[in-house]
Structures are given as C-alpha cells and as structure tokens.
Amino acid sequence: MSETIPAVVRHEGERVLLCAPEVGLFAGTRARGEALVAGSELGTLIVLGRERRVLVPEGVQGRIASEALERVRAPVAYGDCLAVLEPLRAGTAGQGPAAEAMSAGVGGLVLRSPQSGRFYHRPAPKEAAFVEAGSAVQDGQPIGLIEVMKTFTHVSYRAKDALPARARVVRYLIADGGDVKSGQPLLEVEPA
C-alpha cells in the first residue's frame, strides 16, 4: 500500500490552488475540466525514491482550471502550484466527480481504457503526443500507452461502442502519466 499525503491548499478568491506538500518529482496531474473532491488523487510525488499519492484535502472540491504540467515527472518545491480548482457548478457539488463530468459534457463519444495502469499520451517523454486536440483518428490508430509493472501496451482507437470509424479528437480526459482504471474514459471524440 502506497503512502498518501494531502496537498497544501491556498485560496485566491473563489479559486483553490492545490500545492506541493514536499520537494520532489510530481507525476500525473489530472486533466483540465476534471472534477475533484476530497480524497481524490491529484498525482504522485516521488520524495527520496519513495512514491506518495497526493490527495485532495478534506473540505476541498472543484473542477481543474489549469493545464496539466508538461513534464511526466516535474521537479517541484514545497508550495509550488500543482493544480488550480474553480468551484463546481450549482446542483452537482454533492454528487461527486462523475456527475460533474457528465454535466460538463463528458460522456458522449469517449474511448475507454481497456485496462488499469498508468496512461501516457506520448511514446517517450520528449516526443510528441500520439494525437492532439483537433486531429483525426481512425480505427486501429494508436492514441497512447498504458504501463503496468514496467510493461507498455499501445492503446488504439477502436470503432466500437457507437464510436465512428473516423473521428476528431476533442481532448484527452486523463493527464499524461495519470493513473487510469479499466473502463475509465481516456479520450473524448466527435464524428469527423
């Protein structure tokens, strides 16, 4: 069982900043627009070789308003901002992240993860992502990698479960290097 540690919280008006609780390497920032509540995992902080899951502290909830960190394992200092949250819309605050995601329009045409693991947008840290927002994808085209126990598996776009043979990428729903569960939405698409 990995250790957990709550993020440091700072307030800027209605926005909440979730900040690094220690110095280390941070991985797995969540995607812009994703809803988080107390206890949600924000990412992983590696401190002196030990991994700690960074959690959203009690009493904090919101939708991510900041872009994900660009590096897979970004060096951070104590108090560095990891994510900016804006308030959840009225009517969804007590319903959890799934209800917020559905009200934000996520859940229409989505490609779901075939397995649990760590999801990567790119084949290597310094290479371009497999797909970008606005790019076209077709059946069989790779859109990412899933790592399980140091083994990487390509995730391909598949025209099934009402997904068209050709589609246009709207956005990734999981941050580069983020943990994903089997069946969780990875990519939002629209007909090309």
More confident residue, 192 or 133: 133
List of residues 6+ apart from 87 with CB closer than 8 A: 14, 62, 63
Mean pLDDT of 75-81: 92
What pLDDT is attached to residue 173?
86
pLDDT of residue 98: 40
pLDDT per residue as tens digits for the range 115-154: 899 999 999 888 999 999 889 999 999 999 999 998 999 9
For strands 3-6 and 50-55, give the pairing.
Answer: parallel
Structural domains of the chain in order of their starting residue, each with its CATH number? 3-103 (2.40.50.100), 110-191 (2.40.50.100)
How high is the pLDDT of residue 161?
Answer: 67
Per-residue pLDDT tens over the stretch 1-54? 468 899 999 998 889 999 999 999 998 767 777 777 777 888 889 998 898 989
Pairing of strands 74-76, 136-138: unpaired
**Neighbour tally for 142: CB within 10 Å:** 13
CA-to-CA distance for 186 and 178, rounded, in angstroms?
A: 10
The per-residue b/e assignment along 144-160, b for 16 or more CB within 10 angstroms, e otherwise, is bbbeeeeeeeebbbeee
pLDDT for position 105: 42
What's the pLDDT at 43?
83
pLDDT in tens, 175-191: 888 888 888 888 888 88
Q: Is the pLDDT of residue 102 over 50?
A: no
What percent of the chain is predicted at pLDDT more than 90? 29
Amino acid occupying residue 67:
E
Q: Residue 106 pLDDT > 90, yes or no? A: no
pLDDT of residue 53: 87
Residue 65, phi then psi, degrees to nearest 5:
-110, -5
Query: Which carries the bigger pLDDT value, residue 95 or residue 73?
Result: 73
